Each structure stands twice: as structure tokens, then as C-alpha cells.
Amino acid sequence: MVGMPSTSLATVAHDGPAAAPAPVVEVVVPVHDEQRALPASIRRLHDHLTAELPFSWRITIADNASTDETARVARALADDLPGVVLLQLPEKGRGRALRAAWSRSDAAVLCYMDVDLSTDLAALLPLVAPLVSGHSDVAIGTRLAPGARVTRGPKRELISRTYNRLLHVSLAARFSDAQCGFKAIRADVARELLPQVRDQAWFFDTELLVLAQREGRRIHEVPVDWVDDPDSRVDIVSTAMEDLRGIARLLAAARLTRFLAIGVLSTVAYALLYLLLRSPLGPGAANVAALAITAVANTQANRHVTFGLRGREGLLRQHAMGAVVFVLTVLLTSGALSVLRALDQAPARGLEVAVLVAASICATVTRYVALRSWVFARRGRGAPRPRALAPSTSSSADRVGG
């Protein structure tokens, strides 16, 4: 394979000359103990790509630690079919297989599908076309969007809908189907996202999509025709538990979660400083002083932890803008203090602190919006739109294997 680094962790069988040009699309089929399903599926996929895909392509069979004859069967397919490659990995895990295959690929668009070919292959061109054109960064097949036609049992339907609903509620996911084994990504986007993905198994897809969404990547959805594989050997219970742990990890790493954690610590520090400074300074001055001290620390912590900014670039400007947000917080808390004193000229110290903390919490919402959209907003419109890739105009025989 052109541009593939040597490694002791994988064995690659490559059909065709080493100097073959890079394909536009690489389709990865991860497999584990699939000796029976593999031949018919790969031949069917090969026939479809040869007849229907107007771009140069390659098929990579990513065998992750099979214990049966999968590797032998895959090697025979690679020897027999032009454009088919075998990648062998010593460790199990679909995410691990995709990471290895995509990281080594020299293709411009990286795709994968399950070996059972449950998804109708007619959806492959609509899946990769927006990535080739530069319109989108990631594309997914979806069984849960209007226009999809799905044949599967009520148990799996309920599990799928419940899982994706959980993603919407917990992680604010805007994509409809994280689990459909039919996805594609531009190689340049994959190079940026893959190092951030920690999961090596079934949660890999979900984590990749959540990270893409958080970075503002365009995710294109293609409603698919999908037929459930009755021979599926996925352990639903263990996979569900792994997914829940993955969701919890992504939730803990979410920007809003980090901001709220910093906000709680800042509020506690603010309340303690206010109580310490109230007697010598008076309530008004103590409020301003406590807010000023915690605001500087809050802005710096959010800069580093919440928004991931390092170095001194923009530091003074961001703290100056943070000072404007600080003034708004002072006005809100001072106003709340004035209202309290208008109602009770000598309020209890605990009530005074409670009112100020409540006002500070209300100001937190405004602070988050200001930090995200103004203080730490990325200048410009983000990464430039990727260039469209030129489709192959050669014959189907020339397109095979890139």
C-alpha cells in the first residue's frame, strides 16, 4: 500500500504494484471470525464498486485477531480480486481495526461497513459523494431518519432508539443514528479526530461522531435500507455497559461540564472571600473584591481547561474581555444586594451570602455564553472548506484498486 508505514503490529497483503496511485475511496471491512460470511460479502462488494462507484477505490479487509480461517480466506480473496487488501491485527476490537486501517490509508475518503452488508450498497455513493465534493466532513448511514427502511426485531429496534435518544439527552447529539455500521470520513478530518478517540471497540463510532460534532464538523446523513443480520454475535449486555461508560466519559469531558466544575469552585471561593472581607470592607466593597479575585482565576481556568487554549497568544485581550463580563456580574450581584437591603436593612449573614450566590449562579449562564461566543470564540469562520476531489473518469477496470 502506498505510504503505509512498516509495523510489527500488522501484516498487510497487497494486490497490485506497490507504486499504484492512491485511491479516492477506501472501504474497510472489519472482521473477527467471519470465514463463512466473508467470501460472498467481499465479492458482492467488489462487484458493486466495480459497476457503480465513479471513483477509484480499494477494499481493505481488517482482520482483528480472528481465531478461525478468516485470515486465510481473506488472503485468498486479496490474491484473486484486484483492489482487495488484507490487514491483519493481533488484537481484537472493531475500533482498533478501523483506527489501524484508516491511519495507514493513503485514500482521500475513508469508509467502513459491516461484513454482513446489512445496509443496501445503493447507499454507498450517496454516502461518499458529499465528502468527495467537499460539502461534508463525515457521513453516516441512518436507520432512524425519514426515508430509511429497516427490517429487524422489536428488541433491537427498541435498544437502538433508546441508545440514540440517550445520546441526544446526555451529550446533545444532533445525529440520528450512531450505531449503523455504514460510515465515511474525509482522511484529513480523520487525521485530526482519530488521536482524540480513546475507545477501541464498539463505542468508537459514537465517540468519533461526538468529537466531530463538538468541533463543528459537517455530518451528512443518508437514510438507508437495512436488514438485520440474524447471525449477529454482538453481546448486547456487555456492549451496552461499555457504551454507558463511554457516554459518562464523554459527558465528563464536555466543555459545559468543565465550565460548571470551574464555576462551582469559583462560587465557593467567592463566598468564602466575601465572608472574609465583609467585616473590614463592608458588603459592597467585599462583593466587588471577592468577584475581582475569583473572576481572574475563573477566566484563566476556563481558558486553559474549558476551551483548551495554551500559550500567551491573546492572553491580555481575553482577560480584558473577561473583565467586561466581570462588570456585568458585579452589576447583577450588587443589584441583588441592594434589593435585599431595601427589604431588610440588617439581613442575616447567611441570607446575604445565599442571595449573592444565587445572583452569581444566574450570572454564570451569561458568563458561559459570553466566554464561548465572545471571549474565547475562534476568530474567522473556522477551518477552510476542503477542496472537492476530482472523480475518476477512467473505465471501471482502471478504477479497481486505485
Active site positions, annotated: 205
User: CB neighbours (10 Å) of residue 164?
Assistant: 21
Alpha-carbon distances, residue 103 vs 44, 186, 193, 267 (angstroms): 26, 12, 11, 44
Task: Give dist(CA 211, CA 254) in Å, integer.
Answer: 10
Secondary structure (3-state) at 109: strand
Secondary structure (3-state) at 316: helix
Check if the beta carbon of residue 190 is closer than 8 Å to that of residue 102.
yes
Q: Which residues, at least 6 apart from 379, have a Cβ–Cβ distance to it below 8 Å?
A: none
Cell of 80: 484473486
Check if the beta carbon of residue 201 is closer than 8 Å to that of residue 96.
yes
**156 burial via Cβ count (<10 Å: 0-12, 13-18, 19+):** middle
H-assigned helices in 172-254: 187-193, 204-214, 236-252
Task: Give dist(CA 387, CA 109) in Å, integer.
Answer: 12
Q: Which residues, at least 6 apart from 361, have a Cβ–Cβ distance to it below 8 Å?
A: 267
Check if the beta carbon of residue 89 is closer than 8 Å to that of residue 70.
no
Check if the beta carbon of residue 18 is closer than 8 Å to that of residue 53.
no
Alpha-carbon distances, residue 195 vs 64, 71, 96, 208, 281 (angstroms): 20, 28, 12, 10, 51
Task: Give dist(CA 106, CA 108) in Å, integer.
Answer: 7
Check if the beta carbon of residue 151 is closer than 8 Å to that of residue 227.
yes
Q: Which residues, at least 6 apart from 313, have a Cβ–Cβ distance to it below 8 Å?
A: none
